Amino acid sequence: MKKWILIGGGAVVLIIIILLIVGISNLGPMIKNAVNTHGPKITKTDVRLGDVDVSIFSAEAKLKDFYLGNPKGFKSPQAMNVKAIYVDVDEKSLTGDAIIIDKIEVVAPEITYEKIRGTDNFKTILNNVKSSIGSGEPSKKGSGKEDEGRKIIIRNFIVRDGKVNLAIAALGGKSLSASLPDIHLKDIGKKKGGASPAEAFKEVFAELHEKITSPSVNDALNKGLKALGIGVKEVGEGAKKGIGTVTEKVKGLLGK
């Protein structure tokens, strides 16, 4: 009898392992589909993910060629693109109430910062994300748990080696960029027992916008503009009208 119990127990463990392997092996298509399907609903922009590689033994994933488009009204074609995003999932959490992600590491994001009519592209996307949460996106039907989608907890969210490219008409086709300060957020969604993807995205995007518009980025871009001589002629002609210094004019462009 004990022998049969041991065999039965081993079979149960084997079935669980098989289910986990099948679940993890499907994680790549699931991630890609989720990003490409729900991303545009959350940001109100074009969102694309090229491909996902997943290790079935470690539940680690590499997301390739992430693309975030700009909202309507902005001229530059994209807000951000990233060649590689590394995701480490706690595989034990795949069967729980909330999926625990040990780490998301965004490596060398290429950010295009564009400012028009008193706002900018990242602030606009952030407002779109906030409105999506308020409207119940991405799921609007039903009130059951299955409609709410799986919750997530992100233990570590890291952005490193990023670059901010300035997009303004005054550059006349010239390029100007600054280094993005690194980001490290911890325990996203932990206090609530899990956050929706939109809620997590809002927290991440708010921090990203804060870094993009930080004094260190703005100072670097200001120096670059002055080095290129942007605004010197206009300020020279407008000084008689009390327009002010080059620095003041540049601050008007960048917002800080």
Give domain status of residue 219, yes or no. yes
238 and 133 co-located in one domain: no
CA 253 – CA 107 distance, rounded (Å): 28
CA 225 – CA 252 distance, rounded (Å): 12
126 and 53 co-located in one domain: yes
Q: How do residues 100-145 score in pLDDT, each as one tens digit? A: 999 999 999 999 999 888 899 999 999 999 998 875 555 444 433 4
Q: What does the CA dihedral 25, 27, 29, 31 come to, rounded to 10 degrees?
A: -160
Q: Which two tokens stand for residue 249?
A: 């004019």
Q: How do residues 68-106 score in pLDDT, each as one tens digit? A: 999 999 999 899 999 999 999 888 887 788 989 999 999
115 and 168 co-located in one domain: yes
173 and 256 co-located in one domain: no
Its domain, for residue 236, covers: 214-256
Q: Which two tokens stand for residue 205?
A: 């995007």
Give domain status of residue 17, yes or no. no
Question: Distances from the Cα of 246 to the Cαs of 116, 173, 250, in angstroms?
Answer: 19, 20, 6
pLDDT in the model for residue 146: 39
When divided into structural domains, the chain yields a total of 2
143 and 235 co-located in one domain: no
Give domain status of residue 7, yes or no. no
Q: How do residues 150-203 score in pLDDT, each as one tens digit? A: 799 999 999 999 999 999 877 877 889 999 999 999 999 999 999 988 899 999
Give domain status of residue 8, yes or no. no
pLDDT in the model for residue 245: 43
CA 204 – CA 186 distance, rounded (Å): 10
Neighbouring C-beta atoms of residue 136, cutoff 10 Å: 14
Q: Per-residue confidence at 231, pLDDT binned at 50, 70, 90?
A: very low
178 and 249 co-located in one domain: no
pLDDT in the model for residue 202: 93
Q: Tell which residue, 73, 171, 68, 169, has the closest CA to residue 117.
A: 73
84 and 142 co-located in one domain: yes
167 and 227 co-located in one domain: no
- Taking the complete model, does pTM exceed 0.85, yes or no? no
108 and 53 co-located in one domain: yes
- Can you name the residues that pair with 54 across neighbouring β-strands? 61
